[in-house]
Amino acid sequence: PTYIIIILIISRLISTIGNSKPSNILVPHKLLTLDIGARLHLDPAAIKSASSDYGNIFKENPVAVLYPSSTEDIVALVKAAYNSSVPFKIAAKGRGHSVRGQAMADGGVVVEMMALKNYRNGNGITVGSGFYADVAGEQLWIDVLNATLEHGLAPASWTDYLYLTVGGTLSNAGISGQTFRYGPQISNVYELDVVTGKGELMTCSALKNSELFYAALGGLGQFGIITRARIALEPAPKRVKWVRMLYSDFSSFSRDQEYLISMNGRRQKQALDYLEGTLIMDQGSLDNWRSSFFPPSDHPKIISQVKTHAIIYCLEVAKYYDDHTQSTLHKELQTLFKGLSYLPGFMFEKDVSYVEFLNRVRSGELKLESQGLWEVPHPWLNLFLPKSRISDFNKGVFRDIVLKRNITTGPVLVYPMNRNKWDDRMSAVIPDEDVFYTVGFLHSSGFDEWEAFDDQNKEILKFCENAGIKVKQYLPYHRNKEEWIKHFGSKWNTFAQRKAHFDPKMILSPGQRIFNNI
Ligand code: FAD
């Protein structure tokens, strides 16, 4: 009701008086008189749900939450902000699986994108006749998988975890073990519908409004709200041979990883379909939420290797197959693995369905959730770093900082990918070498402990700076403009110009803290 919003505005104004930092946002009373007024929620439950994220570290309250019923609702909201004498901030929130408040809007309006699903009547994903699907921005990748499989098709590029929205991952990049061969998810998009910061709904692609297309892909939500993506599809395989091999020596591990990703042509028959890697350390259990894999009877011999070497490196690969490639699969893998330097006797295999493989993280999530261990702080650090320095990183970070602090809980990922599968015109930022690694510290912590992990993250970043290792953060979190300028490097000017063009009043995704921080 109107009187509530008036009280809210007044109380916000009062809280601003005497505060040296000006209130950045006021949501105008006029909003409630618009059609979307009925779908703007101001109640504590709505505010609470939009004021936290998977990271469980940041808390920022919006003034209102929009549960849109259509793209037009989003257009109306952004237009209202743009035309307001004091533009208010707006953040699209997908699944809210960011870890540092990136989908929050302190004092502004959060758009609960997933509310749109209720109005789609099952039409959020349409598979076209030309190997693509038109997918609404709020859809989850798991739903994209299920819908496309009905046509015998599927996207080629994935994230490890499928309960993320299409709009959210395309605003970052969307990476997983498929990236070395198929590129990140942003390299597998033909077209987007985007509501810009001026409230204009624009269709864009490499040929039409290309500046907006490249800006939005990896654009951290800065240029517009993605309401539809046309995603490339391929014939879906049926089954997956999934293999893990253990190494005690990092240089053999990374050499083998780099050798395997050197075969990466989309049509190259012997190439793998997926390659990742993880550290195995003495964390109490060999299994984590990213999957349990090793047969329990083999745990003692693996644990014994971990005790001897402190860190064991686990190379993880997958090769898809179906009825007509099944007969040659074994031979192909044998040839591919010949000459690899994993520890003899430490190769483990599974044979699973394609869906089971892609959705491998879900069971771990549900298990942790049932134990109350999923909704805890997640002080994550995700990095991209050049291949030439990965061995220095192993020595200085894995073997020194991580072992000395001895607090790491949760998966630590390390795997390489190929720069030529990325498109430099897009906003996503990667190191300047043909092959680069991603390293992800996917920490979970107690509510009082996340700062210790944050200290470790800071020490890692400091180490890289001192050692001259030019890392880029993935799912970046930076505290001020200088850090963002450094992050974007030679892309900064383009990024800032695109912002001035598509969101001149700096309305969108304030939680990234790029243009409207501090
Ligand atoms: P949100 O967190 O809701 O939003 C992220 C950002 O995008 C915000 O700035 C938001 O304002 C903006 N945004 C949201 N929707 C839109 C839209 N429609 N249009 C424009 N901007 C929008 N990432 C990987 O690449 N690979 C992985 O394997 C992977 N695994 C993960 C596993 C887990 C358990 C978790 C928690 C995260 C993982 N991530 C992974 C990271 C994930 O891709 C990002 O956090 C992504 O932003 C989450 O999507 P979301 O839908 O929750 O987005």
Stated pTM of the model? 0.94
Atom of ligand 1 at shortest range from CA of 365? 34
Q: Read off the pLDDT of residues 118-172 as tens digits, 9 standing for 90 and up.
A: 999 889 999 988 999 999 999 999 999 999 999 999 999 999 999 999 999 999 9
| Segment 441-466 mean pLDDT | 96
Q: Read off the pLDDT of residues 351-402 as tens digits, 9 standing for 90 and up.
A: 999 999 999 999 889 999 999 989 999 999 999 999 999 999 999 999 999 9
Ligand 1: list residues with CB < 6 Å: 54, 91-98, 102-103, 113, 137, 159-161, 164-165, 167-169, 171-176, 220-221, 225-226, 475, 509, 511-512
The encoded tokens of residue 193 equal 């519908």
518: pLDDT strictly greater than 80: no
The encoded tokens of residue 363 equal 């069971």
Cα 166 to ligand 1 centroid, rounded to whole Å: 8
Q: Which CATH architecture has domain 2-116+503-512?
A: 2-Layer Sandwich (3.30)
Q: Is 423 a catalytic residue?
A: no
Which residue is closest in CA terms to ligand 1's atom 33? 161
131 vs 136: CA distance, rounded Å: 17
Domain covering 118-235, topology: 3.30.465
Catalytic residue, chosen from 41, 60, 73, 97, is 97
Distance of CA 36 to the CA centre of its chain: 30
Atom of ligand 1 at shortest range from CA of 165? 51
Q: What is the best residue among 77, 159, 289 to mutate for testing ligand 1's pocket, by most ligand atoms within 8 Å of CB?
A: 159
21: pLDDT strictly greater than 60: no
Return the pLDDT at 288.
Answer: 74
Which residue is closest in CA terms to ligand 1's atom 34? 161
Domain covering 239-473, topology: Vanillyl-alcohol Oxidase; Chain A, domain 3 (3.40.462)
Cα 36 to ligand 1 centroid, rounded to whole Å: 26
| Segment 338-346 mean pLDDT | 97
Which is it for the CA torsion 80, 13, 56, 58, positive or negative? positive
Atom of ligand 1 at shortest range from CA of 227? 18
- Residue holding tokens 């609470």? 48
As beta bridge partners, residue 383 has 439, 473
Which residue is closest in CA terms to ligand 1's atom 21? 221
Which residue is closest in CA terms to ligand 1's atom 12? 221
pLDDT category, 489, cuts 50, 70, 90? very high
The encoded tokens of residue 112 equal 């609960």
Tell which residue, 382, 481, 389, has the closest CA to residue 433: 389
Atom of ligand 1 at shortest range from CA of 289? 34
288 vs 160: CA distance, rounded Å: 13
Three-class DSSP category at 64: strand
| Segment 271-276 mean pLDDT | 98
pLDDT category, 349, cuts 50, 70, 90? very high
Cα 91 to ligand 1 centroid, rounded to whole Å: 13
ipTM of this model? 0.99
23: pLDDT strictly greater than 50: no
The DSSP element (H or E) to which 274 belongs, if any, is strand 274-281
- Contact assessment for residue 59 and residue 52, using Cβ atoms and an 8 Å cutoff: yes
Half-sphere exposure of 499 (CA within 13 A, CB side): 20
User: Which has more pLDDT, 144 or 270?
Assistant: 144
pLDDT category, 8, cuts 50, 70, 90? low
Q: Which of the residue ranges 7-16, 31-40, 144-153, 173-182 would you say has the lowest mean pLDDT?
A: 7-16
Dihedral, CA atoms, 68, 69, 73, 74, nearest 10 degrees?
A: 50
| Segment 331-343 mean pLDDT | 96
Cα 116 to ligand 1 centroid, rounded to whole Å: 17
Dihedral, CA atoms, 459, 475, 144, 349, nearest 10 degrees?
A: -20
Which residue is closest in CA terms to ligand 1's atom 7? 168
Catalytic residue, chosen from 53, 73, 112, 160, is 160
Catalytic residue, chosen from 53, 256, 276, 503, is 276
The answer for residues whose C-beta is within 8 angstroms of residue 356's C-beta and 6 or more apart is 240
Question: What does DSSP assign to residue 62?
Answer: -
User: Which has more pLDDT, 512 or 29?
Assistant: 512
506 vs 24: CA distance, rounded Å: 11
- Contact assessment for residue 97 and residue 168, using Cβ atoms and an 8 Å cutoff: yes
pLDDT category, 26, cuts 50, 70, 90? low
Return the pLDDT at 300.
Answer: 93
Return the pLDDT at 18.
Answer: 35
272 vs 98: CA distance, rounded Å: 30
Q: Is 41 a catalytic residue?
A: no
| Segment 244-273 mean pLDDT | 97
In the chain, what are the domain boundaries? Answer: 2-116+503-512, 118-235, 239-473
Question: What does DSSP assign to residue 140?
Answer: B
Q: How far is CA 235 from CA 232, 357, 387, in A?
A: 11, 16, 32
As beta bridge partners, residue 279 has 313
As beta bridge partners, residue 438 has 384, 415
The encoded tokens of residue 288 equal 């984590």
Return the pLDDT at 32.
Answer: 84
Instruction: Give the whole-number percent of the chain exceeding pLDDT 70.
Output: 94
Cα 493 to ligand 1 centroid, rounded to whole Å: 25
Instruction: Give the whole-number percent of the chain exceeding pLDDT 90.
Output: 86
Q: Is 276 a catalytic residue?
A: yes
Dihedral, CA atoms, 171, 175, 181, 187, nearest 10 degrees?
A: 0
| Segment 418-430 mean pLDDT | 98
| Segment 223-247 mean pLDDT | 98
Atom of ligand 1 at shortest range from CA of 137? 18
Please work out, in degrees rounded to the nearest 5, the angle formed at the alpha carbon of residue 92 by the alpha carbons of 91 and 96: 100
Distance of CA 426 to the CA centre of its chain: 16
**Could you tell me if residue 475 is left (phi over 0), alpha (psi between -120 and 50 degrees) or otherwise beta?**
left
- Contact assessment for residue 56 and residue 376, using Cβ atoms and an 8 Å cutoff: yes
255: pLDDT strictly greater than 50: yes
